[in-house]
Every structure is written in structure tokens, then in C-alpha cells.
Structure 1
Amino acid sequence: MVRSWYELSDYVTLKRVGGLRLSPDGRRLVAPVSGIKPDGTSFGASLWEIDPEGRAEPRRITRSAEGESAPAFLPDGSLLFASKRPDAESEDGGGAPALWLLPADGGEARRVASRPGGIGSVAVARDAGTVVFTSDTLPGTSGAEEDELARKARKDAGVTAILHESFPVRYWDHDLGPGEPRLFSAAPPEGPAGGLGEPADLTPAPGKALLEADVTVSPDGATAVATWTTTGPAARMRTRLQALDTATGRARVLAEDPERDFGAPAFSPDGRSVAALLSYDGEPGGEPRDTTLWVLDAETGQGRDVLAGSELWPREHAWSPDSSALYFVADENGRRPVFRLDLDTSRLTRVTGDDGAYSALQPDPGGAALYALRDSWDEPPTPVRLDPAAGDGAPVRLPAPDLPLTVPGRLTEVETEADDGTRIRSWLVLPEEASAGSPAPLVLWIHGGPYMSFNGWSWRWNPWLLAARGYAVLLPDPALSTGYGQDMLRRAWGTWGPRTFADLMAAVDAAVARDDVDGSRTAAMGGSFGGYMANWIAGHTDRFKAVVTHASLWDLGAFSGTTDMPPAWTAEFGDPDTSPERYRAASPHRSADSVRTPVLVIHGDKDYRVPIGEGLRLWWDLMRREVDAKFLYFPTENHWILTPGNITVWYETVFAFLDHHVLGKEWKRPERL
């Protein structure tokens, strides 16, 4: 059934497919699906079964007020997942996430493992069923009981302080500590009512090495490979691959590089190899960051770059069932296709031939199909079945909750040349009524990152909600965008503003040259790096009637020391003490005196990537210069606005601001603000 969803009250209630997991026999496909909770004030996820053949309608298989996440199949087809739901027998729960098991033949889920600090990521050995999971554990404790007593002692004493002895101290939207993530391994459940075996602590004193760790387990369950992060001189962080014996915890370094980071390890089905992403941070004044695909021997660690000579930037990968090939997705020309790399011949084949952006690759164990999520600017993430042997094949869509959606307009592309001759391409969303006789006002929408591409659907910033209100939306890929080769990054590496600004203006010039776009009524907006560029635009041109800047960087020098990840900025711009000129040259705040355009500033207090100080300083600088500005402040939100009520007022405020300044309508303050 096609559903109308353009009103905000409908938009926030849409179900959103967030991932895929295929059972070992290839017969069941499970997806976490988020949706609004009954109280209407937050989102939660439940697990749904998707028919791999596409014949049956999707079926919800878990229900709880707390929601479920992190599905993982055991070899017998039973399904593990994490949830804060209370246990029916003991009536406790609702605090830290525990691990639950849903039998392969259905029935009630039961709790099979819990820890005082909760259970995080979960990995399962394909053949043996050994379960490896992360759990937050207080330093110096041994065993769940001791950890629980230490937590109670802190609580009873009213202690909330955290003593840090290493970097970092917070991440995105949460403080780190006092606990540390550790890895545990356990045998799979025995019998219809059994729990996991007694967990073995594989990493008794990891410090912060396992923050945001990726973990894979060998098919026989004997070895876990995890990303292991260390902090070196000048707080420079490096991530290696650590192999751990799941029975003894004996550890060895499988792979490390003093200049690069390993991520997303995955054992091959035959257990002989591990594939991983290998990333380079770049260097100030030198080569920009890069990512490639690395395959190494699971015993010796000897490896090779299997994408040597290619400028594709892999985002995720999965092994073929016979271990002879890797499937991966990479940004390319405003799309994110699926590729197949045959390891013996190095032959690279593009599996998908459409305009989609693919993710969540799940190869069928028999080799007959490849399942994935497909999205694009005119389609939300949708489960699909692909032919893994195809070249430029077409996806077969599978029924999923609240899909398909019909968009209120049309999608096209715009191409132009920047002043240096570089090709700049953009997606252009047009409202249904846009024509030569009725040209649409234009909103320039700038992506974040900046090392990404505007190639797929966004739930957070959805251009169709503007199109339904009569706006055209331009979605460009300027300098620093991925999918166009490393030269696209080199053009603005370590300088950001001027080159990217010129590309964006060239894209806007091409869009407003169309007879169905009104170049006299335009606005610019963006979030994160896109907000940085919105600020840059406000200080370097008055061609736009309004600027909306969300979670934006304003004073680059001050920001670089207060963000949660300062090393990322020193890798590109250098040491702010010895190279302050790089930060000054790239900082939008230096052009504050030139801002004449009305500005809507939006920021969340829990944003640790771009701290609230950036929004407060920007707001103050605009106020003391008497710029026509407003500040939409979210005390409980972070880099993203994630709750239904706040999402609604975010859009309502943006719509009202644009309508007032671009369309000349009377300013109307959103009712709940």
C-alpha cells in the first residue's frame, strides 16, 4: 500500500529498516526496524522477519516496550538479540541490556546472559556457535559479582566522578567511563532452556582499547579478532587487529601499521583469512585520508591491499560463501554500488547497475543470492535480493514495513564545471509543480562529513519534506566528497572553505540556470561540515535570502581542542600551536563582520563532536553584530536530533524560517516553542 507521509505527524511515525541478518541456512532474513514508541516521545526498535523469496509480508517477531537490537543467528537457527526488557521469571531488567534468545521454531524469548554493565556488540562463530560479546566493566574488578558490588559502592557513596588516565574522555554524545569495554566469550546454549556457558573474560585490563571495537569470530570459535586502539605520542590514536584465543584469552597482534588504522575485520568462511578496512588519516599539507580493503592470513598476519591501484573507497564488505571473493560497497559518482572482487584474479565487477546506495550485505550461504539494503534519494532503505554473479544487475525488492513510499516530486541530476575545470555533480529534488511557468524556490543542502557523498536517503534531513512544500532542493557533491577519486579530496584538503565554496556556487549557478528553478529565491543550509560551509557562505556572499546552520563549526582553532576527537583535526590541519595559520585561514568566524544574511542557528547541548560552545559563540557573534538571527537550542539532543517531538519542531522551525525569508511570508513561531 502506498502511503502519504509528507506531513510531519505522519513522517515521524514511519517504520525504518535499519539492517539485515541472514540465518545460516539462508532461509530467514531478520531486520531491526525502528518506530515510534507508544508514548510518542521516543523511538525504539523491534525485530522483523523479511521473506527472502519476497512472497510473504514482513512479520514482527519481537515485542517489548524497551525494544530489541543487535540480532545474531546461532548455527541452529535460533536468534540472539540485545534488550533491556525485564525477565519474565525473575521480573528484573529494564536497566542494562541483556542477551536474549528466540528459538528457531518460535515461542517465547528467554534471557541467556547478562552483565552488570550490560551487553554491547555480539559476534557468533558460524560453525561452532561460540558467542563473543562486549560488556562495560569497572577497572580492577573480576567477575560479575565484584563488578556489581563496585557499581553499588559508587552509587551508595554518591560518586559520579571519573578519573581518566588516557585519551579520549567522551564520544559523540556520551561520557566515557568509569567502566571499560571488555571482551567475553561463552559457549552456545545447551538444550531448549539453557543459557550461555560461563563467560570467560578475554581482556581483563584493556583500558580504552576496545572503545567502539569491531569483532569477528573464526568459524570454529577458537579465535576472536578485534580492533584494538592505542594512544601514542601527541595523543595520536592507532587501531590494530588483535587476535585472542577464546578459551584462554591469549592475545597476539595480528596486524598493525604505524601510519594506518584497521577496522571492520571479518573472517572468511573457511577460517583462513581476515578481511578488514585499512584507513589512512592523511597528513597536514600532504596526502588526504584514504581507505582501502586489506586481506591477511589469519595465522601469520601477512596481508595485501586487494584494491591496490583503485581509488574506490570501500565502506563495508562481506565474504562470498566459498571464500574466493569479497563483496563490498563504495561511493561512486553519486551512487554506492555493490562490487565483487575475485581474489585470485583481482577481477573487479560491479554487481549493481542502478542508481542505488547499498549497505548491510548478506551473502546467501549457497551462493545463489546476495541480500542487501538499497536506498536512494527517492527510496528509503529497502531489503533487496541481488544476483551475486551479475554484472550491473537489477535488485529485486522484498516486502518490508511501511514500504514503498511515493515521493512528492521528481529527482534529477545537475552537472557543471567548477572554475578549475573539475566536474561537479548534484542531485536535484524538484516539487511536482515546478515548471517554467512556476519555477520553484531553491534550497542548497550541503552534506556533512565532509568525506562522504550525497548518494542516499536521509531520515534526519529529508529533502522531500521541503519538496512537498514547494521547494526545490539541491544536493551537491563538492570538493572533499568521496566517489570521485582522491583528487577531489586533494582540492580542499586542509583548507576546506574557499575551494568547497567555489564548487557549491558553481552547482547553484547550474541549478538556477534551469527554467523550473527560481534563482531569485534561494537559501543555503547544512549540518556538521555542511553547517561549517553554511557559516562560510554567510560570511562570503549575500546571494541567499536565508542560511540555516546545524551543529556547525565556527571557530576552528577553538573547536579543535574541545571536540571529542582532536587527533582527527591535527591529522589534517596540523598542530594548532605550531600551525595556527591553517586553522585561521579555514575558520568561518574570521568573516563574521561580513554576515548580512538572516541565520538560523541550531545546536544540541549533548553534541560532543561539535560542542555547544561553537553554537553559543556563533550566536553571540551574530547578536553583537545585529544580524537577523534565531537560535534553536536542544538541551537534551546531540549531534543529531533523535526524538519525535524535537524532530517535529526542528522541521517546523526550519520551514517557518525559510518561508519567512525566502517566500516573504509572515514569521510564525512553532506552537510548542
Structure 2
Amino acid sequence: MTLRAIKFTPEVLLSAPRRSAAVPNPSGDKAVFTVNTYSFEQHKKASQIRLLDIESGHTTLLIEDPSFSEPTWLSDDELLVLKSGDKGSTSLAVLANVSNPGGPSRYELTSIPAGVSNIKVKKLSGTSIALAFTALTTPEGQLANPETEKKPYSSARIYNSLFVRHWDFWLTANRSSIWYTALEKQDDGKYVLAGKTPVNALSGTKLSSPVAPFGGTGDFDISASGLVFVAKDPELNPALYTKTDLYYIPLSTFLEKKPPPPQIVVTPGLEGYTNSPTFSNSGRKVAFTRMRSNQYESDKTRLLLLPDIGDLTKVQEFYATEDGEGAWDMRPDSIIWSADDSELFTTAEKFGRTLLWKLPASPADAKDLPSQVETADGSVVDLHLLGGKSPRLFVSTSSLVDNSCYSVVNLSEGTNDVVSSNSKQGKTFGLSKSSTGGFTFKGAGDYDVHALVMRPSNFDENKKYPLCFLIHGGPQGAWLDSWSTRWNPAIFAEQGYVVVSPNPTGSTGYGMALQDGIAGDWGGKPYNDLVNCFESIAENLPYVDTNRAVALGASYGGYMINWIQGHPLGRKFKALVCHDGVFCTLNQWSSEELFFPLHDFKGSLYENREAYEEWDPARFANEWATPQLIIHSELDYRLPITEGLAPFNVLQSKGIPSKLLVFPDENHWVLKPENSLVWHQEVLAWINKYSGIESEAGDLADRLESTSISR
């Protein structure tokens, strides 16, 4: 019997088990994944590593200990895991006989006196396995450990070049690096570290990989041929340029103490971000993606092939055209190879979903555009080739109603079978696909715009529900049919709203023309698209009460909330919520990644000030009149805290009902469960007050306020 939540509340959302993507073993009969849960009663997190039987869907517990992470298959029945230790150290351990009903046995390979992450393994000949991982490294090429390094007497930081801080941390001399070694299986069945001491692959270079702040295992790959990785161009300032190159380090053995210098992979005409380098199963080819512009973080990704790792100058582009735009108007992301290396599978957004696509592995054979491979509802999160006789894929997905689903796609039969759904396809939360939908409307120009819709689970088409209008960030981003613990439409719908999430100009997944249309036009076409969306809702959705509408947005969505506040659409809403938004576009130069305003405002502040001023929400502060909640975090270095303080000061000085919520220990996102609960309580209490919805959220916020620092 499926346990069902009485009501899908913030507490249910935030305390529900969060599963990682599942990774199958070489034979394809088992998969491993992690589960994290948070208890608001005990105020602590629990972590598990679990084993999934792919045939039956049954799972068993392997480890319940938050110090263990990143389970990685060594063989069909053995896993390599990381264990965090004292004083910032990390142990590499092996779980053997994981299918044993009595539980796996465990032994330690080695202890590394630093933090380690992003482990990758590759079976070599015989009993040898290549191992790579990443770790923080000193300028001298040694492992760095902030917990054990000598602390200075002064807290001063001194810089003499751009890029002094990034995302939520101040830059130091230490950089991330890739380390490698090999494991060898002994006669007793246990592995040992054959290399004794791991080797820094990037020692003596100016290169750093993975690329901060979000780089991980997708930034590098290993094979018997060696190592490929992505790194920023060391000759260009990372504050001004996005350029990351693909490098190759040939290794005759993963025991080499001094690796050869990295060799750059040549991609003429493409100078932007490089991502997802993936060796073929043969180890001789590499597929990857790259952008053209070196100052546009959301440029179109091109799918590329290096057909022979022995010649780094012969890169081929899939669907290339003479004008350089490319025939496929999508942005490929993650990549895997078929078992015989004849096909590629990649993910790419389209119309509010992240979909799976298939194409020949050679650009010369890719005559037709990629064909879509049907998967479970929602968006693809991760995919792996599944061992066995027939060609199959193991796919992890999520949707607006299901926070984690594992399925098997049989390519030859064209079937897609769900193996395990964490929420019983939404039933655990009292949610179902029938609550979701969407519509299109005319945009501000000669194009259509798409919006996603979420209705309450007890929806009655004969009733009217207040509108919850969500505006996404990016600005080159999109609302997707996927799960979120930060902006989950179902949370608002279950309060009694019809939630509409439009994807206006600037949104990804609808072609590059719509996405690129926002550059130099932040408050132009996107705003008018939203005006048209609101009007379309009023005209075509009779069950929506637009006279009781509220609007919320974060990042660029927060910018748009501030822009709406100073324009006629702002008077259509009873209340607004701005999370980590932009108050003054001129302050974009207090950000860390200056390539962002350089691209989106078509030049620097001092060379093209007019472009910044044209779309500045602060310029229209005299028109502000709608009650507004401001949320901002002090570790948000992309949009500093003053971008939240300034609009709050304007609202307060004008006597407009307003409230400020500050998180000193969060970055651009609110990630800590207790903070996230407060976020949800305050947001729901604010919009419910002005929309007229009565709920427990208001009482919860009042109780919270009585025990927290406020005035």
C-alpha cells in the first residue's frame, strides 16, 4: 500500500527522501544510488547508500552513514566509496559482495589527507583499474587541506587582478586538480593502490579542472588511452571570458609518476565553454560539446567528435552549416556512446522538458536530425548504457509530480519500463500528472510562447482559483517538467492557486532565436511576453481569478519582479516576491562573472552605460506601489546583498507594505533544510495574506516570527 501525505506542504517537500541518479553495474542487473532525508523533529540529516535490483525494483540498504558518498562500481558486485574522515581527510574504501543478503564486507584502500570528490574508474587489462578523482591543490601542486593549513594572524585578503570571488567563496591560491592512480586486485580478492601515491595530472601547469563552481565528473573522462579534461584558458581572465578548452594527457599507464604535458584539442571558430568530454568504449574517440562565443555563458552548444585521439586537430561538428549556426536548433548536454560505438545518445531541452535523443556517432552519417527516444514522464536527469544482450538504457528522470524515477529503455523494442518511482509517480505526495498542463500564447513579436500550468490536486473547474505567476531566472533558462525543492509549483498549487510558469523571450529549449532575443532587451520583449501571458490567462482560463494574482521570481526573475513593480503589469498583482533579484542594472559590475553583463548589455558599463540605464528597475522606483517581499542571501556574490537592501529601503521609505528576509549563510540558492522551511513559510504567508487564501502557512510564519530575530 502506498503511504500518502495528507497535504503536500513545505515540510513534506523538504523532508521527503532525495534520491540521486542511479548507476547500473557492468552487467546491468543492479544499480546503486544514494538517499538523503532531513528530519525537522530531530533537526538532522540521514544518508544512505542503497542497492536496486533492476529486474524486481526491490532495494536494499548497503550503508547508513553520512560520512560515505559517491558509490562507484569496480565490478558487478564491488563498489568504491569515499569516506570523509577527521581533519579534512578522505578514505577510499571498497564494499565487496554487495549482493550478499547479510550485507557487504568493507575494507579501506588508503587515506588521503585532503578532501576528495568526483571519482571515476575504468577497467584496464587484466586485474587493473584506472582511478581518477579531484582534489584541491596548492600552487606547488600538492594536496591542499584548509582544515590543517596554518592559519594567518590577519584576515586581510589582497588581490591585484579581476575575479576576487566566485559564487559564494573568495578566491585563494589553491585550485582544483585531477589526480590519478591505479588499483590492482590481489590473489586474496582485495584491491590495493598500485600507484601507492596518486599523481597530480595538472602539476606544473596553469590549468585547473573541474571548472568552478559547478564542475564535476562531467568535466573529465578517462580511458586506457589517458585522460581528457576541460579547463579555463589560463591566458584569459575568467571574469571577462567563458573560454574553456579540452585537453588530452596521453598515459601509457596510470602509474606514470610524471605525466606528459596536456595537449589542447583544436576547435577552430569555437571559443566558448567546453563540456561533457566522453571517451568512446574503444578509448580512441571523444565526443564533447562546445560553444562559439567566449563571452556568452548560455550560447548554443555544438556537438563535436574527435575521431582519433592520436590527432587533436581533426575535430568534426555534427549538423554544421555554412553560416555557422548549425542545423539542429537544440543545445545538447550530456553524452553516452552505444556499446558498439556506432551511436550517440544526448540530452537536450525542448518545450519545457529535457529529452533524450539518438544519432549516428559519425557526423558524416548524421544526415537526419537526432531522433527522440521516449522516456518516462518529465525530464531526463541522468542516463547510462545498460549491460545485457539487447541494447538498453537506464534512465533517471523527474517531473512536476515525481521527484525521482528510474526506468529501462529497450531500444530495439521501443519500450520504456519504470523500475522504481520514489514517490509512486506522485501518489506519495497526493499529486498526479492530471494536475499539470500547459498552453501557448502570442508573444511580443511574431512568435508563440509556452507556459506550464499546475492546478491543485482537488481542482474543480467550476471554481475560481487565484493566480500564482512564476518568473524563472537565468535569464537564459526555463521552467521544466521536472522536480525542484526550491521552486516547486505543486507547493503553491496545494495552497489553492493555479500556478502558471511562462517561458518568455530568453527561455531555453524553444530555439536559439527566442533565447538570444533577450540580449540587450531585458525589460522589453520578455516583459511584453509576460503581459500577453497574463492577458491570455484572463481570457482563456475561466477557473483562474486574475483579480487575486501574485507574482514571484528569483535571480533574473527577481529582476523582472522589480521591473514589473515599476510598470503597469505590477498593478495587476496583489503581492510580489523577489528572491535574490536585480534592483539596479548598473550594479551588475559588482558581480564576479563580468562576461555576463558584457554580453547581455552589449558592452561595458563605461562604454555602453545607456544600455544598462534603459533596463534599470531603479529608474522607475517612483511608480512602485504593490506590496513586496524581498529575500536575499549574504553569500550571494553574483547578486550582492545590497541588491536586496536597496529595494527594501525604497519600499519602506514609500510606505509600501514590505518585508525583508535575509539568510547570512546561503548563496544564490537557499539549500539548508531549516532555512528552506523558513523561506517557504514566509513566502506562502506573504502571498496568501494578499491573495486572500487562508492556510496553516500564515500561522506557521507567525509562530516562527515570535521566536526569530525580527522587528
TM-score clears 0.5: yes
Aligned: 1:585 with 2:614: yes
Counterpart residue number, 1:652: 681
Map residues 300-449 of structure 1 onto 2, 5 A cutoff. Answer: 300-301=311-312, 302-308=314-320, 309-344=327-362, 345-346=365-366, 347=368, 348-352=370-374, 355-366=377-388, 368-389=391-412, 395-406=416-427, 407-408=430-431, 410-449=435-474
Pairing 1:132–2:132 present? yes
Shift of 1:20: 2.4
Secondary structure of 2:704's counterpart equals coil
Deviations 1:362-421 (A, max 9, x none): 11134531111122223223111112346xx55321225454422447112122112323
Q: Distance in 2 between matches of 1:253 and 1:507?
A: 47
- Counterpart in 1 of 2:323? none
Task: Render the CA deviation track for 1:152-191: whole Å, top value 9, x for unaligned.
Answer: 4523x54655555665333322333342212211111433
Q: Which AA in structure 1 matches 2:350?
A: E
Counterpart position of 1:219: 223
Q: Does 1:469 align with 2:495?
A: yes
1:104-155 per-residue CA deviation (whole Å, 9 max, x = no partner) reads 445243333443331122222243521111111222254x5xx57x974523
Offset, 1:464? 1.2
Question: Who is 2:324 aligned against?
Answer: none
Q: Do the aligned partners of 1:237 and 1:567 also contact (CA within 8 Å) in 2?
A: yes
Q: Is the 8 A contact 1:359 1:374 kept in 2?
A: yes
Q: Residue 109 of structure 2 is aligned with which of 99, 108, 112?
A: 112
Paired with 2:475 and 2:661, the residues of 1 have a C-alpha distance of 23
Does residue 270 (structure 1) correspond to residue 263 (structure 2)? The answer is no
Q: Which moved more, 1:621-630 or 1:588-597?
A: 621-630
Q: How much has 1:42 moved relative to structure 2?
A: 5.1
Residue 598 of structure 1 aligns with an amino acid whose one-letter code is: P
Given that 2:578 and 2:628 are in contact with CA atoms closer than 8 Å, whether structure 1 keeps it comes out as yes
Alignment correspondent of 1:182: 177
* Structure 2: unaligned runs, 5 residues or longer: 321-326, 706-711
Report if the CA contact (8 A) 1:131-1:187 is conserved. yes
Q: Residues 51 and 399 of structure 1 are in contact (CA less than 8 Å); yes or no, is this contact kept in structure 2? A: no
Instruction: Show the 5 A alignment for 1:453-468.
Output: 453-455=478-480, 456-468=482-494
How far apart are residue 242 of structure 1 and its match?
A: 1.2
Paired with 1:471 and 1:32, the residues of 2 have a C-alpha distance of 33
2:179 touches 2:200 (CA, 8 Å); kept in 1? yes
Structure 1: which 5+ runs fail to align? 87-92
Q: Match of 1:90?
A: none
1:290 paired to 2:300:
yes
Using a 3 Å threshold, how does the CA distance of structure 1 residues 110 and 165 change in structure 2: closer, same or farther?
Answer: farther
- Is the 2:73–2:80 contact (alpha carbons within 8 Å) kept by the matching residues of 1? yes
Instruction: Report the residue type matching 1:383 in the other structure.
Output: Y
Show the 5 A alignment for 1:600-619: 600-619=629-648
Contact 1:58 1:399 in 2 (8 A): no
Q: Distance in 1 between matches of 2:51 and 2:605?
A: 51
Distance 1:402 1:378, change over 3 A: closer
Amino acid at match of 1:321: A
- Cross-structure match for 2:8: 6
State the 1:76 CA deviation.
6.0
Tell me, yes or no, if the aligned pair for 1:288 and 1:486 is still in contact at 8 Å.
no
Contact 1:126 1:218 in 2 (8 A): no
Report the AA paired with residue 138 of structure 1. T
Pick which of 407-416 and 294-303 moved more.
Answer: 407-416
Q: Mean Cα displacement is larger for which, 364-373 or 157-166?
A: 157-166
**Whole-angstrom distance in 2 between the partners of 1:492 and 1:11:** 33
Aligned residues: 653
Corresponding residue for 1:22?
Answer: 24
Shift in Å, 1:627: 2.2
When residues 414 and 94 of structure 1 are mapped into structure 2, their CA distance, relative to the original with a 3 A threshold, is farther
Q: Which residue of 2 aligns with 1:89?
A: none
Residue type at the aligned position of 2:289: L
Q: Give the TM-score, by structure 2 length.
A: 0.86
Q: Give the fraction of aligned pairs with identical amino acids, expressed as a percent.
A: 24
Whether the 8 Å contact between 2:441 and 2:533 is mirrored in structure 1 is yes
- 1:600, distance to aligned residue in structure 2 (A): 0.5
Structure 2 vs 1, CA of residues 509 and 153 (structure 1 numbering), >3 Å: closer, same or farther? closer
Partner residue of 1:103? Answer: 96
Question: Relative to structure 1, is the Cα distance of residues 97 and 472 closer, same or farther in structure 2, using a 3 angstrom cutoff?
Answer: farther
Deviations 1:331-362 (A, max 9, x none): 11122211101124214221116652112111
| Maintained 8 Å contact 2:244/2:271 | no
Distance 1:488 1:528 in 2: 19
Q: Secondary structure at the match of 2:666?
A: coil
Give me the whole-angstrom Cα distance separating, in 2, the residues matched to 1:380 and 1:152: 39
* SS of 1:500 mapped into structure 2: helix
Supply the AA of the counterpart residue of 1:95: G
* 243 and 39 in structure 1: CA distance in 2 versus 1, 3 angstrom threshold: farther
How far the C-alpha of 1:226 sits from its partner, in A, is: 0.8
AA of the residue aligned to 2:52: I
Contact 1:117 1:137 in 2 (8 A): no
Residue in 1 that maps onto 2:78: 78
Aligned-partner SS, 1:450:
coil
One-letter code aligned to 1:335: R
Distance in 2 between residues matched to 1:354 and 1:403, nearest whole Å: 13
CA distance in 2 between counterparts of 1:101 and 1:307 reads 44
Q: For 2:371 and 2:465, how far apart are their aligned partners in 1?
A: 40
The Cα shift of 1:500 comes to 0.7
| TM-superposition CA deviations, 1:457-491 (whole Å, max 9, x none) | 21211111222121110011111111111111232
Decide whether aligned partners of structure 1 residues 623 and 232 sit closer, same or farther in structure 2, where only a CA change above 3 A counts.
Answer: farther
Distance 1:566 1:126, change over 3 A: farther
8 Å Cα contact 1:294-1:306 kept in structure 2: yes
Partner amino acid, structure 1, of 2:231: W
Query: Offset at 1:270?
Result: 1.0
CA contact (8 A) 1:216 1:267 kept: no
Q: What SS does the corresponding residue of 2:37 show, helix, strand or coil?
A: strand
Give the drift of 1:435.
3.8
Aligned residues of 1:442 and 1:518 also touching (Cα < 8 A): yes
Match of 1:31 in 2: 33
Secondary structure, in 3 states, of the residue corresponding to 2:647?
A: helix
Structure 2 residue aligned with 1:571: 599
Q: Deviations over 1:583-625 (max 9, x none)?
A: 2222222221111111100111111222222112222222223
- Cα 1:401–1:355 change in 2 (3 A) is closer
- Secondary structure in 2 matching 1:83: strand
Asked if the contact 1:184/1:200 (under 8 Å) is kept, the reply is yes
Contact map agreement 1:172 1:638 (CA 8 A) in 2? yes
In the TM superposition, residue 44 of structure 1 has moved relative to its aligned partner by: 5.5
Which stretch of the first structure deviates more once superposed, 6-15 or 478-487?
6-15
CA distance in 1, matches of 2:498, 2:342: 46
Q: Provide the rounded CA distance (Å) in 1 between the counterparts of 2:591 and 2:408.
A: 41
Matched residue, 1:670: 702
